[in-house]
């Protein structure tokens, strides 16, 4: 996709290819103005994001959706650590899918950078959560 459009890049990192495809379809269906990117390998995503950060890339994601539990071994949690430690990456808004989130409601009182969400079992519910996350972030970007 041409960078002249300057659409915000949404990055989904999930070891479950069905979840990735559901997220892609949800964003396509909702016609949100964004570029979809994905990885089913947290280790490769970690290396790629770290390289982009160290090279001061202008093409960092506008939002990352991460389910560290779906990744192989501890790679998802190592990626989460990278996202929190490196300054260029620590500014990227993050939706973190957890087993028992504090709240699945993306209200404004939540942390301005990390949102916690339950990952619904039903595909239709998951697609709704993904769409809601992206809509909220595109309309209410975090103040950095």
Three-state SS annotation for the chain: CCHHHCCCEEEEECCCHHHHHHHHHHHHHHCCCCEEEEECCHHHHHHHHHHHHHCCCCCCCCEEEECHHHCCCCHHHHHHHHHHHCHHHHCCCEEEEECCCCCCCCCCCCCCCEEEEECCCCHHHHHHHHHHHHHHHHHCCCCC
Does a structural domain hold residue 42?
yes
Does residue 116 surpass a pLDDT of 60? yes
Q: What is the pLDDT of residues 44-76, one digit of tens each?
A: 999 999 999 999 888 899 999 999 989 888 899
Which pLDDT does position 100 carry in this prediction? 61
Which pLDDT does position 57 carry in this prediction? 87
Does a structural domain hold residue 84?
yes
Host domain of residue 47: 10-139
The confidence band for 109, taking pLDDT boundaries of 50, 70 and 90, is: very low
Does a structural domain hold residue 79?
yes
Does a structural domain hold residue 28?
yes
Does a structural domain hold residue 3?
no
State pTM to two decimals: 0.84
Does a structural domain hold residue 1?
no
Does a structural domain hold residue 4?
no
Q: What is the pLDDT of residues 87-105, one digit of tens each?
A: 889 989 999 987 665 544 5
Q: What is the CATH number of the domain that holds 86?
A: 3.40.50.2300
Cα–Cα distance measured from residue 19 to residue 129, given in angstroms and rounded to the nearest whole number: 12
For the chain, how many structural domains are there in total?
A: 1
């Amino acid at each position: 996709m041409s960078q002249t459009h300057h659409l915000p890049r949404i990055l989904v990192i999930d070891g479950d290819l069905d979840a990735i495809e559901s997220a892609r379809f949800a964003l396509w269906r909702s016609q949100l103005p964004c570029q979809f990117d994905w990885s089913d390998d947290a280790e490769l995503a970690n290396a790629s994001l770290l390289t982009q950060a160290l090279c001061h890339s202008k093409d960092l994601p506008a939002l990352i959706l991460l389910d560290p539990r779906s990744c192989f071994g501890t790679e998802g949690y190592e990626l989460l650590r990278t996202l929190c430690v490196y300054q260029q990456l620590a500014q990227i808004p993050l939706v973190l899918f957890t087993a028992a989130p504090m709240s699945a409601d993306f209200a404004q009182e939540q942390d301005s950078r990390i949102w916690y969400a339950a990952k619904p079992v039903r595909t239709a519910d998951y697609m709704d959560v993904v769409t809601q996350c992206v809509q909220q972030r595109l309309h209410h970007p975090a103040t950095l």
